Structure 1
Amino acid sequence: MRGTGPRASTHRVRSGIEGVRHARPATDTGVATDPRDGDREVLALVATPFTTVADAHRRLLALERLFVTREDRRAVFLSIYARVTELVGDAIDRGTFEDGEWVARYLVAFANLYRQALYDYETGDLDALSDPWQLAFEAAARGDCLVVQDAMLGINAHINYDLAFALHEAGVATNRRRKYADHCTVNEILRCLVDEAQDTLAADYDAPGITTVDESMGRLDEVLSIRTIREGRDSAWRNACALDSRWAVRRRLARWVTRVTATGAAHLLLSPNASSRVHGALREFEGRLGEAETTDDRVTED
């Protein structure tokens, strides 16, 4: 796992460069139009805004279960995200935060951005869908990514793209230091969840080698690193503050930086897929490592 110093900053610069390289043309109002009715069961869960933390958690969990039943790889991200929503909600109930009401607004706004992205994708409104989410959902639909890639693509879109807008919607102008302290407290909750999340993905998605694959993929493991998540969340906080600026140019810059870095990071996460040989080897490693380790253990015991 890597830190938030020069290497993390270099990674964000690299993500930004990739985002610019893959950006939609300035004259393009969208990548495509593909209006469709969408899946009724999915739309029933995301057609209306979440109103409370409990409502968000209930529907996110229902979505996860629905996707798991259908072997829909969008379940991978939700296995982590529904749990995060539950744990932060529990912390609000325990009075962990200085301003629990604000954290609740922030959590619901955050969940609604995921809900809206999923709704836009289901209904084919790709003009409204951000690039990071489109890349994540399309990868899940293809089903050809590693489990850790599916997880990281969702985490990237939600933290590196959605979070700044969720914070801005919840409001960061007043009592900013207190709100930032609560924002950082969420980091501690996430820190406690990282190992659990990796174990969950390994067990639930038949990927026993996921931890070692994560380590073997070099910079790709940063998205599951709490230090990198913290750095991304700090960046989102700065962009949220910029979105609150009275200067239009600063607001536009914050939106642009948020979009290109999240889009670039998504393309970097997908980069191993460019080589069928590398990607195939990693997929085999992710799914079979646990079996090999079990065999080695038996040999040792004998």
Structure 2
Amino acid sequence: MGQSAQLTHRPDTVEAVVARMRALDAALPERDGVAVFNRVYLAVTEAVGQRLAAGRFTDSRAVATLDVRFALRYLAAVDAAAAERRPPACWRPLFQYRGHPGVRPLQFALAGINAHIGHDLALAVVDACRALECEPCDLEDEFDRVGDLLVSLEERIREDLMPGPDLLQIADPLTHLLGAWSLERARDATWSAARALWALRRLPDVAEEFTQRLDAAVGFAGRMMLTPLPD
């Protein structure tokens, strides 16, 4: 396993998150599955930072808080795996298959997005609401704006990692994989999950069960995404 480039403190700004992701990019082998996801996530986080610096968001504090809380979930999973602790179930397939020669870069990237959006984003909304002392509805505009940037992440992945049209035939298993998962649907489901978790915050046992089931379901989908494919 490659070096994790762990820091001794948790990043608390978008700039610090970007620095941590750049350190990971420099430390991990290029073909490593986590490195593949990290590169595309880094590009989107850099875009968030640039838009924040340019004053492109109505509520910069809310966007920055949500973005940092979101990224911390991924970075915590990286650190858990590096320390040989079990990351959340949604991330385990990516760390288990990160070096498998039969898994294509596009699969690694999509599995990372699946884990991060399907599980982490819902919890990050709740984290941000607690930090900002607000309700999820108060963050909906910011959620949508960050979601739009995540769509650009998916577009970047398709541009950078998809085989050329002469290689991607209709019967190719990768074609089927691409059609079986939708970022837009995942984002909608995440917003519903975030609202449900917020509503359950005064029922910690029920909230914990809901979170565990969400984690397991997202992890199962990620494992399917990382099915080794023939050349």
TM-score, normalised by the number of residues in structure 1: 0.65
1:148 to 103, 106, 119: 106
Please identify the structure whose Cα radius of gyration is greater.
1
Aligned positions of 1:112-127 closer than 5 A: 112-126=72-86
Structure 1 distance, partners of 2:114, 2:148, is 18
Deviates more, 1:208-217 or 1:74-83: 208-217
Structure 1 distance, partners of 2:117, 2:50, is 20
TM-score, normalised by the number of residues in structure 2: 0.83
Structure 2 distance, partners of 1:124, 1:253, is 25
Structure 2 distance, partners of 1:98, 1:58, is 25
Aligned to 2:94: 136
Cα gap change, 1:142/1:183 in structure 2, threshold over 3 Å: closer, same or farther?
same
Cα gap change, 1:124/1:193 in structure 2, threshold over 3 Å: closer, same or farther?
closer
In structure 2, runs of 5+ residues without a counterpart are none
Identity, % of aligned positions: 24
Count of equivalent residues: 226
**Structure with the largest fraction of helix:** 1
1:162 to 104, 120, 127: 120
Q: Deviations over 1:178-218 (max 9, x none)?
A: 4111111222223344333322335xxxx556983799435
Aligned positions of 1:265-280 closer than 5 A: 265-271=221-227, 273=228, 279-280=229-230
**RMSD (CA atoms):** 2.8
Structure 2 distance, partners of 1:230, 1:197, is 15
Aligned to 2:39: 79
2:178 to 218, 221, 236: 221
Deviates more, 1:212-221 or 1:239-248: 212-221
> Are 2:18 and 1:57 equivalent residues in the alignment?
yes
Structure 1 distance, partners of 2:119, 2:170, is 22
In structure 1, runs of 5+ residues without a counterpart are 1-37, 274-278, 285-302
**Structure 2 residue identity aligned to 1:64:** D
Aligned to 1:255: 211
Q: Deviations over 1:105-131 (max 9, x none)?
A: 1111111111111111111112xx112
3-state secondary structure, aligned to 2:49: helix
Aligned to 1:66: 27
